[in-house]
Structure 1
Amino acid sequence: MSEIEIYNLKKEIAGHILFEIKEILVEKGARIGLVGPNGQGKSSLLKILIGQDNDYQGKCQINSKFAYLPQLKPVSTMSGGQQTLSELQKSFESNAPILILDEPSTNLDQYWRQWLIDQLKVYSGTLIMASHDRTLLNQTVYQIWELDQGKLTTYHGNYTDYKKEKDQAIAKQAQDYEAYQEKRKQLTREIHNRQEKAKHFKKRKASVSVSDYKVNNFAGGYDGQEKAMAKRAKSLQKRLDKLEEVAAPSQETQYLFKSVGALDPKSKTLLNLEPGEVMIQKRKLFDFNTFKLKMGQKIALTGQNQAGKTTFLRGIVKQIYQGYYSPDLKIGYFAQNLRNLNKVQSVLANVSEHSLQDIYLIKQVLASLGFVDHKLNQESGSLSGGEQVRLSLARILLGDYNLLLLDEPTNFLDIRTLEAVEDFIKTYPGALLMVSHDDAFLQSTCQLELKIKDGHLLWPQYQNKYKDTLSKKIALLEFCLQNLVMDSQANLDEIKALKNKIDELKHKEFE
């Protein structure tokens, strides 16, 4: 018996078909990643699987015990990362034969994301996981379910395999489309030629006398030839009409910026901070030696949760650190909980009023973030929470700024939208400082990574030296721990304290 059985499943919302699935059987030990654009029903499908949503047609049966992690809303007593981690630990401790996870890596820092990957690698049960985390999908699943435009399509392999197959399909479609267009042109030309020849037989040539033309025409010579050509043209037209249409492939978006306003500064150095400290309520979070940003630089800022990344970005916005700030500097700051929208304005007006870029580029970016033509005139106040976050991001990306400070811009973006944002950032001519826990996103968009470790902001040239020092310290403590364990007179509390210290340092070593 299969672990999960789905037959003729149809889910509707307000009379609209969200998705239909003819048949899916999930066998024991399957490891499935569920992907697709936002709003296509990924969370709805997971809720149907666990019996939380019974408003559907068809059959959906789960034949084993399961643990379920929903998309979590932060509570006041815990951070988003702490809440996610707590629920994940409960799921693993349940030893359920089926794990169903909805965006499990959201709000986890790099250390705990790696912990999640390690836990899933050793988990022997059946896994179904909705995620936009490409690193997580690549390392933990070997089948992809894509839910898009009401259909569920299955692919073998991890996310990279799925993406490769999709890209090959797009390339094949481009070839088929080109062949289809060429065939249409060929048939259209032949039809036109036959029609012209048919008309030609009705006209008297200058070399043919009037009397001979009348005799031949009366005898049906010209008329027969005209009808033959017309018949051939009609036959070709039928072939053209029956030609199976091939849809045009999706085109790779090219973002073309104008060097106007803030993107055309007189000074290439936007800021150059003197050595300083990042503080919150008189408590030091970390220190930095110097910090310099030039036009075109794209820098990732990483570190564990609550290390001070967001505080540092806010300090740059307020210019509270000592140093040089270019008179041309214009900062665009994005944070998940920060809304900068005029609720009564349309989607398009919210962005275009604050941008000096061409309307074509503005519409391109909005479309890539899910705001297609019929959404452009919608009032911003009527958008969902997720849509307002994306619109706020578009407003910052396209605003008259030359330094973008982006704090977790990828949270809750589907992979397609995330990759569109990647493409945008790669071509953005200004400077960028970004906080994100998405390794694949940072590697694709940023030139270098600054790490907050043990209360210090480390540039790349210092990170290996710090890691070597930390590794030596861990090795020494592990040697001491071994000696303590072998000592029959050792205090148990002392052993626990030393082990906790080693675990804490290993956490820092990984960051």
Structure 2
Amino acid sequence: MITIKNIEKTIGIRHLFSIESLSINPYDKIALIGDNGTGKTTFINMLSNEDNYYSGTIHTNIKIHKIDWENRAEISNRVFSVNQIDVNSNLSPGQMYKLVLQSALEKENTYLLMDEPTSHLDFETKDELIRMLSSRNYGFLLISHDRDFIQKTCNKIIEIKGGEFQEYNGSYQFYLEESIRRDKHAQREYESYTAEADRLKGVINTLSGRRDRIKTTPKRFGNSEARLHKMGGQGNKKKVDKQIKAVKSRIEQLEVKDKPAREAEIRLAIPEKSKTYAKVLLNGDNINKAYGENVIFSSANFEILNNSKVALLGANGSGKTTLINMILQNEGIETHPRLKIGYFSQLEDILALNKTIIENLMQTSIYDETMVRIILARMGIRRDDVYKRVDILSDGEKAKVKLCKILTSGFNFLILDEPTNHFDIHTIEALEELLIGYTGSILFVSHDRVFIDSIADTLLIIEDKKLVSFKGNLAEYQKPKEISEDYDLLLDYKIAAVNSKLSMDISKEERAELEAKYKELVSKKRGL
């Protein structure tokens, strides 16, 4: 058990987060989520005893191991041997991740800490990672922005929000549903608060009107009458003033409820003069590409239709970036003459470092500054942050600015190479909304299944040096495969059941029927 109490964590003069009480069970499989900069990595470093600069206590009575994905020394000789890889051989990032994790999983009765375990992994390697973590009895705590990965591996979500840790005892889907429920509850509380505050303000207005109607002394009254009238009026006014003061006190005692944030949909429309009405925007016919003896494409064909949002998929090293470069350089690929391509890559530098964020965007934007600020705010760049110079920004912040610049520059075709890398979940969701509201066409590369399913209406898949097109998203593409796998499991179950009966003492007639059934099932199995 890991027991955490009365934690206060600050960095310099900045308060990062507080934890009044938190317990982590050895079998908890936890996803730690939250916006960038909220302290996720800091918390993992505190658990691994790499950061001791905090007040409060962290007590552990279990082994804890933080995985260093880039440390080759973490890989055991046994894991090298099992995978038939030489100890001194060069390892790809995917191989490194796999071998480091296998070595970590050998550590029995050890609680694992992992920071972004799926970075740069293709779907096949990621699925293997999911299987390995799912079959592990002992728990782990991981930081990840991959929602599909979290859903398939974790049974508890901890979100750092507003400097506090919020626990959700369930999967990521449960977290989403519970978040909606909590947001609705917050909206009801806000509406109840404002209704009561408005009612009490109305009472004050009524009392104030009553006080104002208390008559002044008529001029015809003599001194004695005026004195008596004034005494009565003053008494009544004091009484009403006392009532007003009591109601104001009740308003002050109300627990203030902030209005839940609601963001309107943004539609990034392409200007009429920039639109193209051709059916096909990109066409590749009989594409061939090789680097020496390494053949990437051989007689490959593809086309990208107008108004489509296409996910380019393939294993690491299959040629995704190569195809993008061929498109950008017009290397054997026909592009419509009215196509205006906006290209995003983590490595591509399109920003003026000596200018502010807002200056960079307004230099090329087809929208006014108000709209540009709204788009930046969706990506987490708000208020005076827009006046920061680009040269002082982190890599993640620069990536946000580059994406916003591309989205506001009037391009009618976007090519996005891994646009979600290094973003937190909220930023990824904001980017999804912006791309859904973008009216041009998109070709993008991503290893984020949820992102792909949210954006793509078409898949372009690199297989065996060819390009295969599929109309639909990733979930629709994988569905037949999942059905096939389920059917395969069903056949295995039936074969095992028949085989079990054949081992029993049964009549000749029943045995003959079962043997025929067994042959039929085995034949179906071989046909898959």
1:2-401 paired onto structure 2 within 5 Å: 2=1, 4-70=2-68, 79-95=92-108, 97-202=110-215, 211=220, 218-220=227-229, 221-260=232-271, 264-269=274-279, 271-277=281-287, 279-281=289-291, 283-286=294-297, 287-295=299-307, 297-323=308-334, 325-401=335-411
Alpha-carbon distance in structure 2 between the residues aligned to 1:73 and 1:398: 41
Q: TM-score, normalised by structure 2?
A: 0.80
Alpha-carbon distance in structure 1 between the residues aligned to 2:49 and 2:154: 24
* Amino acid of the structure 2 residue aligned with 1:242: Q
Q: CA deviation at 1:71?
A: 6.4
1:406-445 paired onto structure 2 within 5 Å: 406-445=416-455
**Relative to structure 1, is the Cα distance of residues 336 and 359 closer, same or farther in structure 2, using a 3 angstrom cutoff?**
same
Query: Which residue pairs with 1:483 in the alignment?
Result: none
* Amino acid of the structure 2 residue aligned with 1:166: S
Query: Which residue pairs with 1:446 in the alignment?
Result: 456
Does the CA-based 8 Å contact 1:84-1:106 persist in structure 2?
A: no
Q: CA deviation at 1:246?
A: 0.7
Q: TM-score, normalised by structure 1?
A: 0.82
Deviations 1:283-322 (A, max 9, x none): 4313532312313x21111111111111111221222234
Q: CA deviation at 1:100?
A: 1.2
Does the CA-based 8 Å contact 1:18-1:41 persist in structure 2?
A: yes
* Amino acid of the structure 2 residue aligned with 1:12: T
**Relative to structure 1, is the Cα distance of residues 214 and 156 closer, same or farther in structure 2, using a 3 angstrom cutoff?**
farther
Q: CA deviation at 1:222?
A: 4.2
Alpha-carbon distance in structure 1 between the residues aligned to 2:311 and 2:423: 19
Does the CA-based 8 Å contact 2:269-2:439 persist in structure 1?
A: no
Deviations 1:241-284 (A, max 9, x none): 2222111102134214354376x414354613141325243543
Q: CA deviation at 1:213?
A: 11
Once the two structures are overlaid, the 10-residue window that deviates more, 148-157 or 407-416, is 148-157
Query: What's the secondary structure of 1:12's corresponding residue?
Result: strand
Alpha-carbon distance in structure 2 between the residues aligned to 1:37 and 1:217: 70
Alpha-carbon distance in structure 1 between the residues aligned to 2:416 and 2:224: 86
Query: What's the secondary structure of 2:402's corresponding residue?
Result: helix
Q: CA deviation at 1:58?
A: 2.9
Alpha-carbon distance in structure 1 between the residues aligned to 2:438 and 2:288: 28
* Amino acid of the structure 1 residue aligned with 2:423: L
Q: Which runs of 5+ in 1 are unaligned?
A: 475-508
Once the two structures are overlaid, the 10-residue window that deviates more, 240-249 or 15-24, is 15-24
Q: Which runs of 5+ in 2 are unaligned?
A: 73-89, 489-527
Query: Which residue pairs with 1:487 in the alignment?
Result: none
* Amino acid of the structure 2 residue aligned with 1:18: L
**Relative to structure 1, is the Cα distance of residues 285 and 240 closer, same or farther in structure 2, using a 3 angstrom cutoff?**
same
Query: What's the secondary structure of 1:275's corresponding residue?
Result: strand
| CA RMSD across the alignment | 3.1
Percent of aligned pairs with the same amino acid: 28
Does the CA-based 8 Å contact 1:365-1:394 persist in structure 2?
A: yes
Q: CA deviation at 1:402?
A: 1.0
Q: CA deviation at 1:343?
A: 0.6
Deviations 1:133-183 (A, max 9, x none): 111111111111112332222110011111211111111111111222222
* Amino acid of the structure 1 residue aligned with 2:210: K
Alpha-carbon distance in structure 2 between the residues aligned to 1:216 and 1:420: 74
Deviations 1:203-256 (A, max 9, x none): 68xxxx864799875433544444433333232222222222111102134214
Alpha-carbon distance in structure 2 between the residues aligned to 1:434 and 1:358: 27
* Amino acid of the structure 2 residue aligned with 1:397: L
**Relative to structure 1, is the Cα distance of residues 334 and 79 closer, same or farther in structure 2, using a 3 angstrom cutoff?**
farther
**Relative to structure 1, is the Cα distance of residues 20 and 231 closer, same or farther in structure 2, using a 3 angstrom cutoff?**
closer
Q: CA deviation at 1:61?
A: 3.9
Deviations 1:376-434 (A, max 9, x none): 11110011122222222222222221111111111121111111111111111111111
Once the two structures are overlaid, the 10-residue window that deviates more, 14-23 or 348-357, is 14-23
Query: What's the secondary structure of 2:380's corresponding residue?
Result: coil
Does the CA-based 8 Å contact 2:270-2:412 persist in structure 1?
A: no
Query: What's the secondary structure of 2:367's corresponding residue?
Result: coil
**Relative to structure 1, is the Cα distance of residues 435 and 231 closer, same or farther in structure 2, using a 3 angstrom cutoff?**
same
